[in-house]
Amino acid sequence: MNVLRIDSSPLKEASVSRGLLDVLQNKLESQGHEITSKRDLYYDDKVTLGSQDRYMGYFTPADQQSDAQKAAVAGSNELALEFAAAEAYIIAAPMYNFGVTAGLKTYIDLISRAGISFNYLPEGPVGLLKDKKAYVVVSTGGTPVGSEVDFVTPYLRTFLGFLGITDVTFIAADLSNVNREESIAKATQQIEAL
């Protein structure tokens, strides 16, 4: 199974979610899966906020796009096609202010592409990325995962489901500001049990 790794914390060595994604990557590789692509959303020059040219380019047939529109959608095209080609995903999703990080939200906007990750049908949108697996490491400082103020897990479950990805495993590393070691140990146990 070819796996896309997605890191979405601006922190490096101090990041709980990055460290746990390393553990998860090692676990999957030990089972014969291969990490074929990696995206570090805070350090990838393709993960940028949009513009009018990008937005209009999304809804303009490729052969009718202006040069500015073609340039504006090029990075999104690459990211969306890479995401669609993966068979599985490992996603580090630290909670910032009760939601996903700005980098992850921007990436989501870039890979949500009609004709690549979903299609519009008369009855509504349908996801094109069926029969894929996603593992999401959710780290929080002081918010319990699954609480009424956890907007990360329901949002990502809804978004991934929109794309057709319904086999999603969440790994909680919550309350790390309360007890970092216990939070990491609990999440590591979840990973080792996979």
19 is in an annotated binding site: no
Residue 185, classified by CB atoms within 10 Å of its CB into exposed (0-12), middle (13-18) or buried (19+), is exposed
51 is in an annotated binding site: no
- The position carrying tokens 């590591």 is 188
1 is in an annotated binding site: no
57 is in an annotated binding site: no
76 is in an annotated binding site: no
User: What are all long-range contacts of 25-29, with beta carbons under 8 Å and residues at least 24 apart?
Assistant: 25/90, 27/191, 27/192, 27/194, 28/1, 28/3, 28/88, 28/90, 28/135
149 is in an annotated binding site: no
98 is in an annotated binding site: yes
**Residue ranges of the binding site:** 9, 15-17, 95-98, 139-142
**Residue ranges of the binding site for FMN:** 9, 15-17, 95-98, 139-142
